[in-house]
Amino acid sequence: MPTGVAIRDVREQLFDAAERILLRDGPNALTSRAVTTEAGCAKGVLHRHFADFDAFLAELVRDRIGRIDEQAAALRKSAGSGTVAGNLTTAVQEVFGSVAVAIVGLFISRDGLRARLRQSGSVGIPLLTEATAMIAAYLDAERELGRVAADADTGTLAPTLIGAGHLLFADRESPTPDTAAVRKVVATVIAAVTREP
């Protein structure tokens, strides 16, 4: 690519390129060269915007966490509408239909990335921790509306749903689970606490 050509929204372009690589080829294929090639820009572009590759990856993870925060707001708004199982099925599919599973693998395999995220106060496994909080907040909202039992342990149900969802979506080589498979798992986990017909 010629030098001196302005690239609009370069950070987002690089993040999107990294996400495509993660989804297509997995965490082991993610290198700065692969990202810039996928984004169609010179390698130096990444290093002009980020101190090093782990700094880039940390910002990628934070950006994708921001998307979970947006999804959490929408899920909370859905409380009281549709069905609890339906809303949770959609939420689990959105979390794991994205780059979340690949980021978990990336987080586990890169010591530098883990260290950067821990320095900035991140706890748990990025994206999964935030997704668990999202599900718990939604279940709390449904409990307040009476659609989830008053004594439901949302602090246990949320990580159970996220863990089960992760297992459904974790194998990149298999076809993505369909809505019926996800809904079956969700309905089974919440069966004892929901107050829906």
- The pLDDT assigned to 8 comes to 56
pTM for this predicted structure: 0.85
> Which conformational region is residue 8 in: left (phi greater than 0), alpha (psi within -120 to 50 degrees), or beta?
beta
Fold of the domain built from segment(s) 7-49: Arc Repressor Mutant, subunit A (1.10.10)
C-beta separation of 116 from 54 below 8 A = yes
Fold of the domain built from segment(s) 65-190: Tetracycline Repressor; domain 2 (1.10.357)
C-beta separation of 110 from 74 below 8 A = no
How far apart are the C-alpha atoms of 155 and 68, rounded to whole Å?
Answer: 18
How do the domains of the chain map onto residue ranges? Answer: 7-49, 65-190
Q: Is a pLDDT exceeding 50 seen at residue 159?
A: yes
Task: Over range 100-113, report the average pLDDT.
Answer: 84
Q: Which helix (H) or strand (E) is 113 found in, with range?
A: helix 111-119
Q: Is a pLDDT exceeding 80 seen at residue 164?
A: yes
Q: What is the pLDDT of residues 1-56, one digit of tens each?
A: 444 444 458 899 999 999 999 888 888 899 999 999 999 998 889 989 999 999 99
How far apart are the C-alpha atoms of 123 and 160, rounded to whole Å?
Answer: 18
How far apart are the C-alpha atoms of 85 and 80, rounded to whole Å?
Answer: 12
